[in-house]
Amino acid sequence: MCGKPRKSKAAGFPRFRSSLLRNEYMVTKAFTEIDFKHQVRPGDSVDFWGKVTRWGNTSLTIELKVLAWRPESNERREVLDVKGVFVAIDPQGRKQKIIPADEDQTGVQNAGPST
């Protein structure tokens, strides 16, 4: 997945951490095209996979897949496909521009170390 939520006191929003983005806060706008393929049974472990399918100015669309599996076997089955739209916000809850990890806060692409 793209990020791991952390507790924050700013506006009651969880902080968001990602190797793709510099934004601290993302909220869920919508989940669409939900396709439940199989049920998750007691004792199953689940893996979540996500891929960004659209980068907007203030939002991302992420395609999520969930696989369930049993620790005692190698059987994996896809249990859920879903698309989610997530919006970047500032600590006050206002929309904010998506800032890629390779861009600084001013919008300048980082060239990396010079050789």
pLDDT in tens, 99-114: 888 766 555 554 444 4
Average pLDDT, the chain: 79
pLDDT digit string, tens, across residues 37-53: 999 989 999 998 888 89
Does the model's pTM come out above 0.95? Answer: no
Which stretch of 2-16, 76-90, 100-114 has the lowest confidence by average pLDDT? 2-16
d(CA 28, CA 3): 13
Task: Tell me which residue of 49, 76, 73 sits closest to 63, measured CA to CA.
Answer: 49
Mean pLDDT (whole number) for 82-93: 92
Residue 27 is part of which domain span?
A: 4-89
Mean pLDDT (whole number) for 84-111: 78
**Any bridge partners for residue 51, and if so which?**
63
Mean pLDDT (whole number) for 74-86: 91
Tell me whether residue 115 is in a domain. Answer: no
Indicate the number of domains in the chain.
1
Tell me whether residue 85 is in a domain. Answer: yes
Tell me whether residue 42 is in a domain. Answer: yes
